[in-house]
């Protein structure tokens, strides 16, 4: 019979045996999860060697992996555990066990175990290393500063950076313009990437473009960011027939002959407003050229029509003035013929837009949760059918099969129509379907009604205390939902 090899004992003791190339458990016949294995190091130790000498011949190299077919047998155990198992087997200080009998290996295993048990007292049991648990560092921000994730229910942007957003003091702006600070909409669901774009544009003082399909909340995003910062907000709608005076100002009769009334742009520039130009790509390029310098870094505005000296015509931006723009396209035209008044703009203007962010529709589960929070009296299954119908419409719009989309605005109207007793089907038809005229478009819309199974019976509102039919998956982990939003602190 092959003799056992050296065993390794350091902070852990492993026991096992290799006999004729086969790896055997120390406790022969014991289930694998209770097995201790012998570390084979290559030096033979006679069976009659004193147990203390066995321990003193221990070497440092790690044991080789167990041979194929014996996976799961190896288990490292402490010296105390080895001694305890030896005691369980009836092995008391140095007692020899006969190797004779039906299982000649059993005695050899037990002899090795006995040697280890007797050696524990002399060698000593190493004190287990105290596990050092590193506590997660808690960052406490100063008053008026918030992490970006506190507005996005814990979600981070694709960059992985949790930016620090610093809000203005309540008395930072003159009282005359504080009325233009928007209120925070607690139901607004921030896309962390969009919030990051708004924040970086503000921090770096570069012009930005929020682009996306109708009804995705582009203007609302800019307005809600102004609400977070407590900054006055001004919105100007772009359109094809607009003239420069709408932006810059114009002469009006006065007692002295004529007086120049400044437009919204110079007013915003002088008074630290955050200004949004909606549908900026609908403004004719020749009009945009009148104030293209404003889109430059630190750019000023020249009011050519204003009487006076050159320095009286020049408008310099105040330190906190910020300019955002929104549109459905990016300035190179409309390839799908969906936005008839869209203009193709000069490349030099587009190049002056420092940050562009795409604003898309909410994910289904988020949109359902949002609508349910706004209309708790509408059944969850109804909201689910409405959102499913809206997503079919949006897919058709994206693919060019439908000329109009169905945004969250339309879904809100559909929910409100239910209050008048209209059926789900009637609410959808009144809010969206009747806008279509082409036969193919009408047929496609009707197919959506059948696909999502909108009900045709008059709707009865019902407040559901327990939502057992919503099928809504949790959007945000509970630990993140529990955190108070900044406006609740």
Residues of the chain where predicted confidence (pLDDT) is lower than 50: 1-83, 85-105, 108-109, 123, 125, 334, 337, 339-340, 464-483, 487
Rounded Cα–Cα distance for residues 214 and 236 (Å): 17
Q: What is the DSSP letter of 325?
A: E
Residue 240: the pLDDT is 64
- Checking 319-322 for CB contacts under 8 A at 24+ apart, the result is 319/272, 320/168, 320/231, 320/272, 321/268, 321/269, 321/270, 321/271, 321/272, 321/273, 321/274, 321/275, 322/201, 322/202, 322/205, 322/231, 322/273, 322/274, 322/275
Residue 304: the pLDDT is 85
For CATH 3.40.50.300, the residue range(s) in the chain are: 145-358
Which residues 6+ apart lie within 8 Å of 178 measured at CB? 232
Residue 342: the pLDDT is 52
| CA-CA-CA-CA torsion sign (414, 418, 420, 425) | positive
Residue 113: the pLDDT is 54
Residue 116: the pLDDT is 53
CATH 3.40.640.10 applies to domain 145-358: no
How many residues appear in the chain?
A: 489
Residue 103: the pLDDT is 46
Rounded Cα–Cα distance for residues 271 and 321 (Å): 7
Which residue in 458, 380, 396, 378 sits closest to 425, CA to CA? 458
Strand partners for 252: 259
| CA-CA-CA-CA torsion sign (283, 284, 285, 287) | negative
Which residues 6+ apart lie within 8 Å of 472 measured at CB? 365, 368, 369, 372, 380
Which residues 6+ apart lie within 8 Å of 356 measured at CB? 197, 208, 209, 210, 211, 330
pTM (two decimals): 0.64
CA distances from 183 to 110, 418, 427 (A): 79, 28, 30
Residue 483: the pLDDT is 47
> Do the Cβ atoms of 17 and 105 come closer than 8 Å?
yes
Helix-helix angle 79-88:104-123, to 10 degrees: 130
> Do the Cβ atoms of 38 and 17 come closer than 8 Å?
yes
Rounded Cα–Cα distance for residues 356 and 237 (Å): 19
Rounded Cα–Cα distance for residues 383 and 376 (Å): 10
Instruction: Give the tokens for residue 424.
Output: 């789900």
């Amino acid at each position: 019979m092959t003799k056992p090899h050296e065993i390794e004992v350091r902070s852990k003791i492993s026991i096992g045996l290799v006999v004729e190339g086969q790896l055997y458990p120390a406790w022969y016949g014991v289930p694998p999860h209770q097995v201790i294995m012998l570390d084979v190091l290559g030096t033979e130790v006679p069976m009659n060697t004193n147990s203390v000498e066995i321990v003193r011949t221990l070497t440092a190299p790690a044991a080789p992996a167990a041979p194929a077919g014996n996976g799961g047998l190896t288990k490292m155990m402490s010296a105390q555990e080895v001694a305890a198992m030896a005691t369980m087997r009836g092995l008391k200080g140095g007692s020899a066990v006969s190797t004779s009998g039906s299982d000649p290996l059993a005695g050899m295993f037990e002899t090795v175990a006995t040697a280890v048990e007797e050696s524990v007292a002399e060698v000593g049991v190493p004190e287990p290393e105290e596990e050092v648990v590193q506590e997660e560092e808690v960052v406490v921000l100063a008053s008026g500063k918030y992490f970006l994730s506190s507005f996005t229910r814990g979600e981070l942007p694709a960059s992985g950076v949790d930016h620090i957003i610093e809000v203005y003091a309540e008395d930072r702006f003159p009282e005359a313009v504080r009325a233009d600070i928007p209120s925070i909409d607690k139901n607004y669901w921030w896309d962390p990437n969009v919030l990051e774009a708004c924040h970086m544009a503000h921090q770096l003082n570069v012009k930005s473009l929020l682009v996306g399909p109708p009804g995705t909340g582009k203007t609302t995003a800019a307005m809600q960011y102004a609400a977070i910062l407590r900054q006055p907000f001004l919105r100007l709608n772009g359109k094809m027939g607009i003239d420069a005076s709408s932006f810059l100002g114009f002469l009006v009769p006065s007692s002295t002959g004529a007086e120049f009334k400044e437009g919204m742009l110079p007013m915003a520039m002088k008074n630290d407003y955050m200004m949004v130009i909606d549908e900026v790509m609908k403004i004719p390029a020749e009009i945009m050229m009148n104030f293209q310098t404003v889109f430059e870094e630190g750019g000023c505005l020249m009011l050519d029509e204003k009487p006076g000296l050159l320095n009286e015509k020049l408008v310099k931006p105040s330190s906190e003035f910020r300019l955002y723009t929104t549109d459905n396209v990016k300035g190179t035209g409309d390839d799908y013929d969906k936005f008839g008044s869209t203009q193709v703009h000069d490349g030099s203007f587009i190049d002056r837009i420092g940050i562009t962010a795409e604003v898309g529709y909410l994910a289904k589960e988020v949109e359902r949760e949002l609508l349910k929070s706004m209309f708790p009296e509408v059944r969850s299954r109804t909201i689910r059918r409405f959102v499913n119908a809206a997503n079919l419409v949006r897919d058709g719009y994206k693919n060019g099969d439908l000329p109009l989309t169905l945004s969250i605005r339309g879904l809100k109207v559909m929910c409100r129509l239910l209050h008048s007793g209209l059926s789900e089907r009637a609410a959808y038809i009144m809010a969206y379907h009747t806008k279509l005229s082409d036969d193919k478009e009408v047929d496609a819309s009707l197919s959506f009604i059948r696909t999502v199974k909108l009900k045709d019976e008059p709707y009865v509102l019902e407040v559901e205390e327990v939502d057992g039919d919503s099928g809504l998956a949790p959007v945000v982990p509970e630990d993140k939902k529990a955190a108070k939003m900044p406006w609740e602190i």
